[in-house]
Every structure is written in C-alpha cells, then in structure tokens.
Structure 1
Amino acid sequence: MTNQQPPDTPAHDLQRNLTNRHIQLIAIGGAIGTGLFMGSGKTISLAGPSIIFVYMIIGFMLFFVMRAMGELLLSNLNYKSFIDFSADLLGPWAGYFTGWTYWFCWIITGIADVIAIAAYSQFWFPDLPQWAPALACVGVLLSLNLITVKLFGEIEFWFALIKIIAIMALVCTGLYMVFVGFQSPTGTSAQLSNLWNDAGMFPHGLMGFFAGFQIAVFAFVGIELVGTTAAEAKNPERTLPRAINSIPIRIIMFYVLALIAIMAVTPWRDVVPGKSPFVELFVLAGLPAAASIINFVVLTSAASSANSGVFSTSRMLFGLAQQGDAPKSFETLSSRKVPANGLYFSCTCLLLGAALMYVIPDLIEAFTLVTTVSAILFMFVWTLILLSYLTYRKERAPLHQASKYKMPGGRFMCWVCLTFFAFILVLLCLESDTRQALLVTPLWFVLLAVTYQTVRRKRQARVPVPATTPRQS
C-alpha cells in the first residue's frame, strides 16, 4: 500500500483536475438533494416540527459513513472510489455489487430528475412536448461531461451555488419576517413559538416522527458523491477531509435553518404537502416572481442531480471495467481523459428509463416507488462502505494507526450506523407505497448474483489459478 500518488499519471488513468473549490461545492450540492425543495412539505405534514430532528439524526449518521469512506480512500490513493476499497477489503463480489448498485442508484435517480425537469419546464412552456426538455437536458449534460472533468466541476459549482443562494435567501427572509412579526392573511404571526405552541414538537407522536424518516432519507442521496471524485481531485489529502468535515455545518445551515424558517413563518398545520414550502414562504413575503424564481431553482437542482448522476455512473463503469466486472470498452478514455463510452451508455439508459416512465399512468406513484428503491439501494452502498471499514480495521491495523484522518468513534459508530439503517428498513415496511419498493428491490440483487456468477467464471477462465489461492468471493 502506498499513500503517495505517482508523479506521472498514466494515459489510461483519470486526471486529477478537480480543485478544492469544485470538491467543496460538489459535496454541498450532493448534500442538498431535490428532496429538500420538493419533499419538505410532505415531511413537515407527517412529522410536524420534529422533522428538524429527523434531518439532524440522518445527517449525523451519514457524517460517520463519510468519515469512514474518507479514511479508507486516503489510506491508499490508488483507490479511485469506494468500488476499489470494497473489492479490495471485502472481496471481488463486493466491488461488483457496489459498483453496479451505485450505477443503478444514479440511473433511477436520474430518471426521476429528468422527468422532474420536463415537468418544471412546462411551467414556462406549457405547449412544449414533455419529451423535448428531457431529451435536451440529457443531450446538454452529455455534451458538457464529454469535454473535460474540470467543466463538470465548474457546472456543479454553479448549480450548487444557485441552491445555496436560494436556501440562504429563504432563511434570511424567514428570520426577517419573524423579527418584524409578519402577519399572514390567515391571521397567524411569524414567530419561533410556532415550532412548539401547536401540540408541541411531536404533534403526531413517535409514529409521526418515524414517518418523516421515510422521505427524508431520499433528500440525502448523493452525499457520498465526493467519494467518486477522489480519483480526479487535486491534492485529495487536503480537499477530501475539508469537504467531509464540513458536512455537519452544511446540514445545520441548509436543512435545519431552512425548516425552522419555514415553520416559524407558516405554522406546520398550514404547510401544504403537495406544494413546495419554499415557494409559499416567498409568496407570503410578497415577492411576485417567487413562483418563477423557485421553479428555476428547483429545475437547476434537478439538473444538478442529473449532472451528478451522469458523472458518477460513467466513473463507476470505468472502475468496474478496470476490475473486469464490466465490458472493457468502458475502460477506454477519450483524448480528454473522460470515460466517453460510459457516458454514452448511462445517458442512453436515462432516456430509455424516462420513456418507460411516460407510459405509467400514475406518475406520482411511480415517482414514490422509484425514489424509495433509490434510497434503499443507496443505504446498501453506505452499508458496504461501513463493512469495508470494519474489515480494514481488522486486517489493515497498521494503516489505520498511520492514518492522519481517522474516523471518530471507529468501529462502535460503524455498528451504530448499521443499526440505524436496519431501523430505516423496518420503517419502510409501515407504509404501503414504500413497502412495495422494499419488496421489489431484492430482485436487483438476485439479478446481480446471477450475472456475477457469469463474470466470475469468465475471470477464472482467463486467469491461471495461483499456487496460493487468494480470498474467494
């Protein structure tokens, strides 16, 4: 194992062109999902003011997952992403399952984003066919990602900046309305006591509190995206810790303060589940262009998520091809050091998936199913990161001792996080729509298990069996 990056990057390797500025904003963009803008109304109606604690708990747990990932990635700079360390520490099967599951996570999340972009575009262009903005979005993102990885970082920088400005504007507007004692048309006044003066912080009891977790988890998918940028980050030993360490501050700033501002201005019972509370707050503030502005913000948020998906899926395919778990054509880099074949394949899947979703009559039901499946699969990836860390602590103790970026809480916090994910799966059984997704998801792992046996046989046929047999998957 080495902790130093070779001075000359081989021609078949990805280039380290992402700066600290790019990594920081990619991490922030990953932590602010479309679910915050679109799903917060429903989560507030389910859990009331206790939703603040829901987001804090999920953010707290995922911070430790990210710290485990950070220590593993920096223990060996030859690791391109969590595919590499899961394959190295848990066995080839883990690399196969992690890589393809993460690819699938972003494809189905990307499908939801592309559909959302088509829907948001109807706000300004109601006569435009729905397929036109979806096709245009995928085409633009493919073109931009084909140019250079630095351009991806630049696009994501500006997308994330728009989200940050929108949330900070909401927080500042909400606090100002509380400060001046704003009176709404219904006669309620903006005040912090709105958080607890209507049946307390837990108005629906523990079951209402638990119900908030089901949707809130999806708001955090993509938080691990910083781990897929490791191979293309300049000076990862400095940029990765900075990006990961700032996660708790981002959760407080972008989730907790935004929710407090919303519920201080609009009592939680008045929050409409089907509408974005961001739009409603700006409308109350008397900003006539609120609907157009927030529509633009949510559209760019969905485009940011789709952009992240296009980027990360192509890098996953690149890593899988290097391991022999995907066709070798995905390992080929363009003259600009971009995995072009992986980009083409992922974007084609996005369009095919979007086309399939158009034929489903109840789009909202389909969207709930897709996002829940996505959240379950992301939790599977997070679980494998934690299991890799536990194996690393057991088998690579000297590397852990030498690490300058140790995970706080170590093995104990790994088990706490794993228990938390198991708890979330139990909660998903409680509602019929999320229960359906939980029952469908195992089919993906059955498919992976079957295809992995084929890949394994091909690999064994190519590689002579050594005298000392390594760990078999």
Structure 2
Amino acid sequence: MSVHHQPREGASALSASLHSRHVSMIAIGGIIGAGLFVGSSTSIARVGPAVVVSYALAGLVVIMVMRMLSEMASQHPAAGSFTELVRIGLGERAGFVAGWLYWYFWVVVVAIEAIAAGGIINGWTGLPVWLVGTVFVAAMTGVNLLSARSYGEFEFWLSFIKVTAIIAFIAVTGLFAVGVTSPSGPTFGNLVSHGGFAPFGWGAALAGVTSVIFALCGAEIATVAAAEAKEPARVIAKITGSVALRIVLFYVLSIGLIVSVMPWSDVVPGHSPFAAAMNAMKIPHAADVMNAVVLVAVTSALNSGMYVTSRVLYVLADKGDAPRALVPLSRRAVPLRSTLVASGFAYVALACSVLSPEVVFSFLVNASGAIMIFVYMSVCIAQLAMRKRETAPAPIRMWLHPWGSLISFAAMGAVLVAMAFSPGARIELVSSLAVLALAYACSFIGRNRSGFPG
C-alpha cells in the first residue's frame, strides 16, 4: 500500500468519511469491553450493592470531563486528538506528555483486549492464547488500514451488538427484579438482605470509585473520531455529552439489576456477573451467550484501541513530537505507519505476556493504571486555562464554571490518594508515576518543532 506525504495541516489531512452514528458507536466501543462484562465482578465483590453508588460517582466525574472536552472541542473541532486540546490550553510540553501517555494507555488496552479474546477462544478450541491474540490484532490492523469509513462501519455493528445485548439484559433482569417473571415476586430484597446495602461501609463505596473509574474511561475517543467526521463541530456538540451519559446509564442500570436479582455475595471475582445473573434467573446457556457477547465486546474495544492509537501517534508526529516518518498517509487517507507501529507494540506486549508475564507484562499493565487520571486532570487544567483566555463564548459551555472543573480535578486527586493507601493499587500508582516521569523527561530531550528525524 503506497503512501504519500500530506502538508502539515494536522488532523485536517485525514479523511472526513465518518458519520455521527459512527462516532457515537466508536465512543461506546472504546468504553464497553471486558471491564463491564467481566471486570465489574471484582468491584461488586469488594463493595457489595453500594457499588452502584461507586459507578454513579465515577460516571459523574467522566461526564464532567466530557463536558470540558466538549467546550474545548467546540472551539477547535479539527484538533485531531483530545490531547491536542491540552496542548492548546497548556502549551507544547503538556501536549507532548498528554499525547504520549494517552497513546501508551491505549496500546496496552489493545494488548489486554487481545489476550481476553484469546482466553475466550482458548476455552472453546484449546488454541494458544498468544496465537489467537496475534490473529485478532492482525485482523483489526487490517480493518483499520482499509479506511476510516471501513473501520467506522465495522465498529458501528460491533457496538450495536453490544448495546443491543446490554439493553436486552436490562429488560430481562428488570422484569425479573420487579417480579413479573420471578416465581417469588420482586427481588429487590437482595439489595439489603446480605449484610446491608453497603456491607463494607460507605468508605468502601467511595474507595470503589478508584477501580470503577478506569472502566469508564474511553468516551473521549469521540473527540478523536470527530476530526474525521463530515461536520466535526456539529458531531461533537451532538454526541460527546450524550454518549457519556448513555454509557454511565448502561453501567449503573445493568450492575444495579445484577445485585437486585441475585445475592451480591454469589458474584465470583473474575467471572462474568452477567452470566451469574442469567444463571440465577434460570436462563439456559447463559455462560455461552455471555462469552459470545464478551468476545464481541473485546473485539470492538480492540478495534477502537487500534484506531485511537494510530490517530494520536499521527497527530504527535504532525506536531513534531514523534518521528516525521509517521506522518505520511495511505491513498485512503489512513495513517499507515502510525497504525503499524501501534500494531507492533501490541505484538510486543503479547509476547511479553507469554515470555515474561510476571515482570514485563505486569509492569505494562500496572503502569497504565493511573495514566487516564493524569490525562483527565490535565484536561481540567486546560479547560480552565482556555476559558480564562477566551475572547468569545464557546458554543458549548462547561457547567458550574469554574467549580465544576475544580471539583472534578479534586475528585480525581482523591482517587490517586486512595490508590496510594491501597496495597493492591499502590503498585499501579507508582508504575504510572514512573511512566509519567519518563514522558516528562522525554519532553525536554525529544521535542523538536521541526519534527523528529524521519
């Protein structure tokens, strides 16, 4: 596939082939993966039914961040990556650090989702996890190399399946919970009859925000994809806030219904609570159905991860923060080399998961633990800085300015403090701080306004 150089116009050099429906589903695809369908089991086991409050609070923070991004993106709709909004608000070095942290976060997610897909296929066929993961990464790389439109269309249908599955699950469990299909009547007693609504205390519910907020990261992909939409400003105004709200509702409603139709104490960490709830309702083949949905979910998240890492790296290269050799686009206006680099890192991570699962791969995963909190905190500061300098009101305004941004920043700071005092999360915080320090150090030696050599 041949490539040609584009003038330095940033993301405007990319195609404008995505529709609003594509961008909406792309955002959903990036956020609803194995973290909801399987990872939520750990949060339920640690917090109890009050985990619904944990998800609601974490969701509120994410919605506030998305509103900040909406305000900034409505002024700069063709930024190409939401981390470029940080650059506009806080300067070149902040853009460098935020861009590379965000790229790192998503290439690790790609590897994790590939391994999750490999685990599911392994359970069905016995094929090695690393082999299946490699095939999945290669397949999603191929989809992303075709065109932005082909990626968007593929992601639309994958996400459509996920959303349909979640809505169907909410409908079925809702009927059971209110007693319509339950043989014993309403089942909401499960919310308080097994140690109370907050069996580990409200402190545990607040601490639960620490883990669940990471599952809700990803809605910001909408601002990346909007740069390749036909009318970016209108798309951003339409979907950034609504998508975040929709996702939070999916999480809160589905998790709330799970702990309503079955005792929370029956949820086993590492096993899908969705399948457990379906078994509790005597729905046949629950495990197989959920495994199929989870496979679609992780494929979708992997696909979105490949897309966002390639676009972020392309924009970094265009701004002189990565080798200029990564700027050329294919004839289909796809950042070919940036996509292949993201794919290559995923292969390396997969190899590490086999050759060094306890050291290298564990570090890669742990070091992504707090990255999104750092990036989201920089968004809060950038929004405040940009608002202070504005000469005309933005089409979309942040709520409760400046307190909305300040409270969101403080809430995320509290999450980091909670991680520091949690034995299980402390290693993730320390590893993430090491990556942050490395990115900041590289901003002094790596940045070159004329572009990296390439």
Same fold at TM > 0.5: yes
> Distance in 1 between the 2:450 and 2:427 partners?
38
Where does residue 26 of structure 2 map in the other structure? 26
State the 1:202 CA deviation: 1.4
2:153 corresponding residue in structure 1: 154
Matched AA of 2:427: Q
Q: How far 1:103 sits from its partner (Å)? A: 0.5
On the 8 A contact 1:83/1:319 being kept in 2, the answer is no
1:81 is matched with: 81
What is the CA–CA distance in structure 1 between the aligned matches of 2:427 and 2:212, rounded to whole Å?
18
Which protein shows a greater Rg? 1
Contact 1:146–1:338 at 8 Å: present in 2 too?
Answer: yes
Residue 117 of structure 2 aligns with an amino acid whose one-letter code is: I
1:239-294 CA distance string (max 9 Å, x none): 21221231464145311211122111101122222311111122233333222221
Letter in 2 for 1:197: S
Which residue in the other structure is 1:441 paired with?
432
Deviation readout 1:154-200 (Å, 9 max, x if unpaired): 111112112112212221221222323635xxxx8751122123333
Change (3 A) 1:181 1:199: farther
Match of 2:376 in 1: 382
2:194 corresponds in structure 1 to: 198
Does the CA contact (< 8 Å) of 1:26 and 1:225 recur in 2? yes
Q: What amino acid sits opposite 1:386 in the alignment? A: C
Name the counterpart of 1:392.
Answer: 386
The answer to whether residue 348 in structure 2 is matched with residue 349 in structure 1 is no
1:313 and 2:322 correspond: no
- Residue 384 of structure 1 and its aligned partner are, at CA, apart by 1.4
Distance 2:331 2:161 in 1: 32
Q: Give a deviation string over 1:288-313, Cα, whole Å, max 9, x none.
A: 32222211111121111111111011
Kindly indicate whether residue 254 of structure 2 is the aligned counterpart of residue 258 of structure 1: yes
Count matched residues: 443
> Post-superposition shift, 1:11?
11
Question: Structure 1: which 5+ runs fail to align?
Answer: 1-8, 463-473
CA deviation after TM superposition for structure 1 residue 57, in Å: 0.9
Q: Distance in 2 between matches of 1:440 and 1:341?
A: 28
Residues 282-431 of structure 1: matches in 2 within 5 Å?
A: 282-360=278-356, 373-396=367-390, 398-399=391-392, 401=393, 403-431=394-422
Which consecutive aligned stretches of 4+ in structure 1 deviate over 6 angstroms post-superposition? 9-12
Question: How many Å apart are 1:461 and its aligned residue?
Answer: 11
Retained in 2: the 8 A contact 1:29–1:159?
yes
Give the match for residue 277 of structure 1: 273
Deviation of the 1:112 alpha carbon: 1.0
Provide the rounded CA distance (Å) in 2 between the counterparts of 1:356 and 1:252: 33
Q: Which amino acid aligns with 2:329?
A: L
Q: By how many angstroms is 1:105 displaced?
A: 0.5
Return closer, same or farther for 1:284/1:332 CA change in 2, 3 Å cut-off. same
CA distance in 2, matches of 1:84, 1:426: 27
Q: Deviations over 1:418-466 (max 9, x none)?
A: 000011011112332311111122221232233222224x44899xxxx
Q: Determine whether 1:100 maps to 2:100.
A: yes
- The secondary structure found in structure 2 opposite 1:97 is helix
Distance 1:134 1:168 in 2: 28
Give identity over the alignment, percent.
Answer: 31
The yes-or-no answer on 1:66 pairing with 2:66 is yes
What is the root-mean-square deviation in Å for CA atoms of aligned residues?
Answer: 2.4
Residues 308-363 of structure 1 show CA distances to partners (whole Å, capped at 9, x for unaligned) of 11101111111111111100111110000000000000000001011101134569
Distance 2:337 2:412 in 1: 34
Aligned-residue offset at 1:385 = 1.4
Q: Deviations over 1:130-176 (max 9, x none)?
A: 22211110111111100110111111111211211221222122122
Residue 207 of structure 2, aligned match among 206, 211, 218: 211
Residue type matched to 2:143 in 1?
L
Give the Cα–Cα distance (whole angstroms) in 2 for the partners of residues 143 and 221 of structure 1: 25
Q: Which residue in 2 is equivalent to 1:163? A: 162
Which whole-Å CA distance do the structure 2 matches of 1:374 and 1:114 have between them? 16
Moved more, 66-75 or 9-18: 9-18
Partner of 1:176: 175
Distance in 2, Cα, partners of 1:181 & 1:191 = 11
1:344/1:410 Cα in 2 relative to 1: closer, same or farther (>3 Å)? same
Is 1:114 the counterpart of 2:114? The answer is: yes
